[in-house]
Amino acid sequence: MSTPILQVRGVEKRFATTLALQATDLSVNENELITILGPSGCGKSTLLRIVAGLDVPTAGEVQLDGRRIEGPGADRGMVFQSYTLFPWLTVLDNVCFGLRERGWPRPQQLEVAQGFIVQVGLKGFENHYPKQLSGGMQQRTALARALANDPRMLLMDEPFGALDHQTRELMQELLLSVWEARQKTVLFVTHDIDEAVFLGTRTVVMSARPGRIKLDRPVPLPHPRHYAMKTQPEFSALKAELTEAVREEVHRAAAAVA
């Protein structure tokens, strides 16, 4: 059995008098793509931000490669739902940004950045600014920027949530192709159950607030994946189980405020 690279141990998060995340444990092995589902407000994004080092847990700890996470670091790349590109930089310079901050010589920055720009399908757009790009192209740039730093883990907080349906499906296929080629370890938060099953090697369902991990299921679909898999019995069975698990928590949350 492989040794987990990420260990979440007894992590809690309290905001003033509100417990947002109750004692949560999660182990993530190298090269896993774990999707995280749950009702709104259950702590999915809070957990991801704690792993990113952007929030501090009230209790418990997170370790990456045996070292306690105490703040942001280049070993974790983050992609948000909102477009977080620097509007004054071109696509090329956005992708180069992390490498520049780390002191890489410009020729090496360009070589790495241009390789990822090609991989995410943006060749020819190197000199465009974010305002000249569609939402999907901006997220492609954000993904290339995160990958260019060669992080140990990629953390994605509903990165395709603001995209139209067709663009979202294209971005899912792009992420899978990048993951299959590079085998990055990924934590991916989503509200979309189809997306969670299609992308994940494991899918985790969180309970209503205060959040905890209610269900942890492997996804029995081979790689490479394609959309025809959504008609397979294995896909439908897992989707049905996850849908019921999430619905239970949505109803429980609604009952709590009724």
In degrees and rounded to multiples of 5, residue 249 shows phi and psi of -75, -35
Q: Which residues of 96-109 are buried (b: 16+ CB within 10 A; e: fewer)?
A: bbbbeeeebeeeeb
Question: What is the rounded distance in angstroms from the CA atom of residue 253 to the CA atom of residue 78?
Answer: 29
Question: What is the rounded distance in angstroms from the CA atom of residue 5 to the CA atom of residue 78?
Answer: 17
The whole-number pLDDT of residue 154 equals 95
The whole-number pLDDT of residue 107 equals 94
Chain CA centroid to CA 242, Å: 18
Question: What is the rounded distance in angstroms from the CA atom of residue 26 to the CA atom of residue 4?
Answer: 10
DSSP 229: G
- Those residues whose C-beta lies under 8 Å from the C-beta of residue 206, and which sit 6 or more positions away, are 36, 37, 38, 42, 43, 44, 47, 212, 213, 214, 249
Please determine, looking at this structure, whether the domain spanning 4-75+153-257 carries the CATH number 3.30.420.300.
Answer: no
The whole-number pLDDT of residue 250 equals 87
In a structure prediction context, what are the per-residue pLDDT tens digits for the chain, which is 258 residues long? 567 999 999 999 998 888 889 999 999 999 999 999 998 888 899 999 999 999 999 999 999 999 999 999 989 999 987 778 999 999 999 999 999 999 999 999 999 999 999 989 899 999 999 999 998 899 999 999 999 999 999 999 999 888 888 888 888 998 998 898 888 999 999 999 999 999 999 999 999 888 899 999 999 999 889 888 889 999 999 999 999 999 998 888 777 776
Query: Please, what is the Cα angle at 168 between 164 and 173, to 5 degrees?
Result: 160
Question: What is the rounded distance in angstroms from the CA atom of residue 74 to the CA atom of residue 53?
Answer: 11
Tokens of residue 3, six digits: 């040794």
In degrees and rounded to multiples of 5, residue 41 shows phi and psi of 80, 10
Ranges of each domain in the chain = 4-75+153-257, 84-150
- State how beta strands 202-206 and 213-218 pair: antiparallel
Q: Which helix (H) or strand (E) holds 64?
A: strand 59-64
Nearest by Cα to 214 from 58, 67, 43: 43
The whole-number pLDDT of residue 1 equals 53
The whole-number pLDDT of residue 258 equals 61
Q: How many CB atoms lie within 10 A of CB 71?
A: 8
Q: Which residues of 34-51 are buried (b: 16+ CB within 10 A; e: fewer)?
A: bbbbbbeebbbbbbbbbb
Alpha helices, DSSP H, located in the chain:
44-52, 91-101, 106-119, 135-148, 165-182, 193-199, 233-257
In degrees and rounded to multiples of 5, residue 123 shows phi and psi of -60, 130
